[in-house]
């Protein structure tokens, strides 16, 4: 179990230092912002908490020659860290006057809690006790009181942060800040579970009950919660950059998915292409826009050959949505129109006015999604026709 405890501790510590280093790389352009300075202080306190934890884990809690002093400093840093995290949330989302007022209350509460912890630690003769008394629990009333006050000091900010994150996320003006607040809310829930599991550990140890491997639940919750918290405190600055590769990948998938439809329309109406077709995707946004525009133009050229009285294709997915059925119907009409144009046959009931069944083409993202559905249906119909031709031969 010690190996798992150590691993959980290392994961939490690495995430804390990674978040601190990442934020320190932005010090030149952000240091004048009070919210940034508060965030750096919060991450420093988070790193101090786990640094002192490493000292306590490796040296029996001794620090500066005082037994278990590393544990006391770790707990006091954790209290200050929770207070600082609450202040960050206030600076992110609350009005300026409200943030200042509530920040003052949290600072007073943090100082009072740390003073109480220090007093209980020395009154309970903490330096002379085994370090296990402060980690797995103890039957001594003063040590038990010390540990329970520490857990309460961690649990209360978790509750307040969770209650505030929901309303603040709905009021947030940017998507990255909303995401950060949701992650902070999730971190608060996970760390509250840590507090609950740690309380169970302390009380069962005081009662002489061995719960075995379940003691590790608090370590797991702590590691997962700190990793989530570290991500939430940094996500506003890297979310936009991280989204760019995902956006590029989505655009590239759409660009490739549209190719079969575009190719056949281009072969039918070569004039729709303003530039020679190329394989490069160095300027993917431009090329995706061009491909959508060229599909529109090729589709318009087919309007005199589209038989509006013809039914859609019989190829359907079970339980397909109405939009999926429309996509298959449009794809089937395009294939029929292409065959009619090659044969020079104009249907009696054609429709050479209108555009894409009067769909709104102002929303480019929605149009790409729609055309991708049509192109996918078009590719499936082509495969069905190929199988039919092979069977006939």
CA nearest 179: which of 237, 103, 227? 237
Instruction: For the chain, 393 residues long, give each residue's pLDDT as a single digit of tens.
Output: 667 777 877 888 888 888 888 888 877 777 777 777 888 888 888 888 888 877 777 665 566 777 788 888 889 999 998 888 888 777 766 667 777 888 888 899 999 999 999 999 999 888 888 777 777 666 788 888 888 899 998 898 889 888 888 777 777 667 777 788 888 889 999 999 999 998 998 888 878 888 888 888 888 998 899 889 888 877 766 666 666 777 888 888 988 999 999 998 888 888 888 776 665 556 788 888 888 888 888 888 888 888 766 555 555 544 567 778 888 888 888 888 888 888 877 776 665 554 455 455 667 888 888 899 989 888 888 877 666 555 555
Paired with 350 in beta bridges are: 307
Q: Can you tell me which residue has the tokens 């290392």?
A: 10
In this structure, what are the phi and psi dihedrals at residue 63, rounded to the nearest 5 degrees?
A: -155, 125
CA nearest 145: which of 60, 201, 195, 203? 203
CA nearest 315: which of 303, 305, 325, 304? 325
CB 110 within 8 A of CB 126: no
Q: Which helix (H) or strand (E) holds 253?
A: helix 217-257
pLDDT at res. 312: 52
DSSP string of 135-166?
A: TT--S-HHHHHHHHHHHHHHHHHHHHHHHHHH
CB 150 within 8 A of CB 121: no
How far apart (Å, rounded) are the C-alpha atoms in residues 101 and 99? Answer: 6
pLDDT at res. 354: 47
How far apart (Å, rounded) are the C-alpha atoms in residues 268 and 257? Answer: 19
pLDDT at res. 130: 79
Could you tell me where the beta strands, DSSP code E, fall in 41-172?
none
Cβ partners under 8 Å of residue 158, min gap 6: 82, 188, 189, 191, 192, 195
Paired with 66 in beta bridges are: 63
How far apart (Å, rounded) are the C-alpha atoms in residues 315 and 325? Answer: 9
CA nearest 90: which of 141, 38, 129? 38
How far apart (Å, rounded) are the C-alpha atoms in residues 84 and 92? Answer: 12
pLDDT at res. 115: 94
How far apart (Å, rounded) are the C-alpha atoms in residues 64 and 70? Answer: 9
Torsion angle, alpha carbons of 36, 41, 46, 51, to 10: 130
CA nearest 231: which of 298, 165, 174, 186? 186
Could you tell me where the beta strands, DSSP code E, fall in the chain?
none
DSSP state of 128: G
CB 68 within 8 A of CB 129: yes
Q: What is the largest CA-CA distance in the chain?
A: 99
- For the four alpha carbons of 351, 357, 361 and 365, in that order, the dihedral sign comes to negative
């Amino acid at each position: 179990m010690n190996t798992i405890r150590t691993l959980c501790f290392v994961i939490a510590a690495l995430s804390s230092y990674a978040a601190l280093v990442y934020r320190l790389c932005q010090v030149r352009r952000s240091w004048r912002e009070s919210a940034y300075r508060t965030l750096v202080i919060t991450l420093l306190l988070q790193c101090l908490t786990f640094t002192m934890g490493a000292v306590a884990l490796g040296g029996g809690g001794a620090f500066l020659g005082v037994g278990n002093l590393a544990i006391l400093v770790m707990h006091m840093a954790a209290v200050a860290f929770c207070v600082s995290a609450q202040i960050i949330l206030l600076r992110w989302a609350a009005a300026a006057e409200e943030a200042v007022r509530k920040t003052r209350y949290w600072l007073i509460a943090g100082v009072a809690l740390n003073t109480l912890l220090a007093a209980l630690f020395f009154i309970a003769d903490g330096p002379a006790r085994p370090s296990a008394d402060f980690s797995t629990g103890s039957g001594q009333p003063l040590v038990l009181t010390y540990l329970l006050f520490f857990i309460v000091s961690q649990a209360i900010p978790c509750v307040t942060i969770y209650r505030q994150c929901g309303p603040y996320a709905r009021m947030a003006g940017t998507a990255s800040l909303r995401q950060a607040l949701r992650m902070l809310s999730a971190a608060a829930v996970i760390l509250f579970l840590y507090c609950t599991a740690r309380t169970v550990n302390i009380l069962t140890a005081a009662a002489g009950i061995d719960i075995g491997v379940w003691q590790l639940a608090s370590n797991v919750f702590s590691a997962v919660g700190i990793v989530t918290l570290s991500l939430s405190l940094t996500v506003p600055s890297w979310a936009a950059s991280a989204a760019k590769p995902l956006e590029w990948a989505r655009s590239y998938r759409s660009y490739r998915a549209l190719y079969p439809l575009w190719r056949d329309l281009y072969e039918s109406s070569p004039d729709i292409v303003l530039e020679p077709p190329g394989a490069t995707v160095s300027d993917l946004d431009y090329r995706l826009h061009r491909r959508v525009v060229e599909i529109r133009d090729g589709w318009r050229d087919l309007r005199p050959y589209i038989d509006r009285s013809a039914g859609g294709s019989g190829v359907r997915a079970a339980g397909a949505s109405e939009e999926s059925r429309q996509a298959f119907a449009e794809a089937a009409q395009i294939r029929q129109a292409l065959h009619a144009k090659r044969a020079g046959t104009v249907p009696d009931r054609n429709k050479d006015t209108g555009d894409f069944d009067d769909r709104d083409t102002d929303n480019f993202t929605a149009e790409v999604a729609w055309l991708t559905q049509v192109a996918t249906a078009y590719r499936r119909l082509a495969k069905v026709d190929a199988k039919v031709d092979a069977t006939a031969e």
